[in-house]
Structure 1
Amino acid sequence: MNINKSFKHDFSLIANLGASFEDHYTRGVDIGGKLATVPNLFSAANLSSDNSPKETYKRTRNIAVFASAELGWKNMLYLTATGRTDWASQLVSNGKTPGIFYPSIGLSAIITEMASLPQFISYLKVRGSYTEVGSPISQVGITPGP
């Protein structure tokens, strides 16, 4: 969902809300071992007979919701906030973290709209922001805070 609104001629709001769902299946057959007869011939037929193929199966799932909002004032000052929460299948068994939240906040100012600058500066913008990032794998084994 998207919103793009202007109100009272001084303020603007752009907001987005969404979700994503990923579901990956991987199946395969692994075989490996010492080469039997022909050097540097890497094929199943040239492997020693004491190695048997192994079937592999892997499934990962990630469900996420995310949102962003940007509030603008007089086309020169913008406050932006975003958030995303992921529920990854890698975390299901640890029981400590139901989801991972990734927030961010930023403030930007278009200086060329706020003040008169020398003519050789056609556009000047300043931005500061804070964000937190991570991944399901980096979260495994971390004890949540109080």
Structure 2
Amino acid sequence: MAEPERRIAADNRRARHDYFLDEKYEAGIQLQGTEVKSLRSGRANLADAHAGEREGEIWLYNAYIPEYAGGNRFNHEPRRPRKLLLHKREISKLIGSIKRGGYTLIPLSIYFNQRGMAKVEVALARGKKMHDKRASEKERDWKREQGRVMRDRG
């Protein structure tokens, strides 16, 4: 099945290095008008961002969406908490995993879907230890070397 077209506004490449990613979810995000315009310029940053539970809802914290250059006095605050829009069953499952399972909810990317709606891809993640990171790097290097050998031989 083909992946629907996405226009990536922000990507958290560091998350795949620092965490074991288990389940991924697509969530809507509640934005102000100037935030949408700023996201379309593609300068957002998810490096230090995480999601968490507040009052029975899931919120995105510390995601940096810069102020819109053409905005006026109603411009948004760059690092304000933003509500993530999920189904009630998904919210209860995520809250349970965060509280009981020792998971963290990490945003992987913010993108615009085919209809032009801003979406956030979040994942339940467990932190990697230093030796896990080294093992992942070693495996990635070995896969790359395997590809080179197979390409040269065949």
Q: What TM-score do the two structures reach when normalised by structure 2?
A: 0.20
Q: Which has the higher contact order (CA 8 A, sep 6+)?
A: 2
Q: Which has the larger radius of gyration?
A: 1
Q: What TM-score do the two structures reach when normalised by structure 1?
A: 0.21
